[in-house]
Structure 1
Amino acid sequence: MNSTRVKICGITSVADAQTAVNAGADAIGLVFYAPSPRAVTIEQAREIAASVGPFVTVVGLFVNADESYVCEVLANVGLHLLQFHGDESPEFCESFHRPYMKAIRMRPELDLVGAFDKYASATAILLDAYRPGVPGGTGETFDWQRVPKQSLRPIVLAGGLTPENVASAIQATHVYGVDVSGGVESAPGKKDSQKVEQFIFNARHA
């Protein structure tokens, strides 16, 4: 069976990017959402993206961003994948002609099949915990039994993952990938190298 892919999100420095890459991360995430403690400027993002090498996917995370801002980021930062974490329409997500991943927050009343169908053009669907008014990074998990066992597209699991629970999460869901940010930090926006290494090790050996 293929090993689960790992994305380390909320990278704010070249040093933390190198920590993730050296530990074996498949992807890093750069947050282009000003209210987040993990937000980066275009200048910071350009330097980080250029530092990871050609075989690590650089993901840009946006939350209800203006089209012009997304285009400005794309013109200046070497992103491979866009991640939309707000209320973006499929048409908006598709308009940049780049592979994209759509985050879906697992509200109790969510029609998950309908959400998957709505974003049929997405390269992957990311399932995250739901907290009203918070677009992500809550540090909370959700009921992993709600993750579809069969899907035509890769599913990435997020929400409250840590080195301690990631193996259980993968065993319960058999997802394509896992996405972590706060669960491997010493402080918001600052990665803990030991936690990053342990998270990736545990994910690989789940």
Structure 2
Amino acid sequence: QPVIKVCGVTNAEDAAAAAEAGANLVGMILWPRAKRSIPATTARQVAAAARGGGAEPVAVFVDEDAATIARVCEECEVRIAQLHGDGARAALEGLPPGLAAIWVLHADKAGRVQSALPPSPGTPRWLIVDSLQGGSGEAFDWRQLRAAAPDLAQHSSHGWLLAGGLTPDTVAEAIATAAPTGVDVSSGVCSPDGLKKDLGKVQRY
């Protein structure tokens, strides 16, 4: 059974629904400049709703330093930080021991990974391979990743997740093609406003 992460959740209701629909990880964006960003007070409610449904909440950061990431995660009662940009990735070594990390890699349209792997293999809990413009809903060629999969798996303790343009209609093919440990979806399960999650899409996923 692949691990399922629903990202860009903006409210507690969506977090509870995603967990109930079977999501293992519920991501929320704490980087203030993102379209689906939420304040720490809302993030606490989202985290509590995710945990209440049996999912683990994840806080997403882009260019924050280790101290900021640790402080915000503590405020939101979140134990997993997703390191999305160069600044946040550089914070990996400085995170406190109780805070797990997800390290994001970016692949070009051909599916070639363009980002550096984490400096200490096995340190992040998960790796995510996303399109160059993460969160944009753009897909890329998944076939290239199948060959890279064993190497990706070695660099994390729990495996790697495929992201980038996944929808309920493409996710089965993506898993069969790239053989990831799991999948990560955001814009592919959004309602037309791009902010709230479309419950039907989350359940089909």
Band of TM-score, shorter chain:
0.7 to 0.9
The structure showing larger relative contact order (alpha-carbon pairs under 8 Å, at least 6 residues apart) is: 1
Contact map agreement 2:106 2:115 (CA 8 A) in 1: no
Report the more deviating stretch, 182-191 or 51-60: 51-60
CA deviation profile, 1:103-123 (whole Å, cap 9, x unmatched): 011147998498335352222
* Aligned mates of 1:99, 1:142 — CA distance in 2: 28
The counterpart of 1:171, out of the listed 161, 164, 176, is 176
In structure 2, C-alpha distance between the alignment counterparts of 1:7 and 1:156, rounded to whole Å: 8
Cα RMSD of the aligned pairs, angstroms, is 2.3
Q: How far 1:177 moved relative to its partner? A: 1.1
Is 2:107–2:132's contact at 8 Å kept on the other side of the alignment? yes
The match for 1:198 is: 204
Determine the C-alpha separation between the residues in 2 that align with 1:110 and 1:171.
15
Shift of the 72–162 alpha-carbon distance from structure 1 to 2, 3 Å rule, reads same
Cα displacement string for residues 162-186 of structure 1 (whole angstroms, at most 9, x for unaligned residues)? 0000000000011111000000011
Residue aligning to 2:93: 94
- Asked if 1:158 corresponds to 2:163, the answer is yes
CA distance in 2, matches of 1:114, 1:35: 22
Deviations along 1:52-87, one digit per CA (max 9) or x if unpaired, are: 236311101000114443233122112121100000
Pairing 1:1-206 to 2, within 5 Å after superposition? 3-53=1-51, 55-88=54-87, 92-97=91-96, 98-107=99-108, 112=113, 115-116=116-117, 118-120=119-121, 121-131=123-133, 136-147=134-145, 148-150=148-150, 151-152=153-154, 153=156, 154-186=159-191, 187-199=193-205
Identity %: 31
Q: Secondary structure at the match of 1:103?
A: strand
Where does the alignment leave 5 or more consecutive residues of structure 1 unmatched? 200-206
TM-score in terms of structure 2 length:
0.85
Question: Offset at 1:36?
Answer: 1.3
Displaced runs of 4 or more, over 6 A: 108-111
Q: TM-score, normalised by structure 1?
A: 0.85
CA distance in 1, matches of 2:196, 2:109: 32
CA distance, structure 2, for counterparts of residue 183 and residue 20 of structure 1? 13
**Bigger mean CA deviation after superposition, 137-146 or 162-171:** 137-146
Q: Is the 8 A contact 2:67 2:95 kept in 1?
A: no
Partner secondary structure for residue 184 of structure 2 = strand
1:142 CA drift (Å): 1.2
Contact 2:29 2:37 in 1 (8 A): yes
Give the superposition deviation at 1:90: 5.6
Contact in 1 for aligned 2:126/2:160 (Cα 8 Å): yes
How many residues in Structure 1 have an aligned counterpart in Structure 2? 193
Q: 1:145 to 1:15 in 2, by over 3 A?
A: same
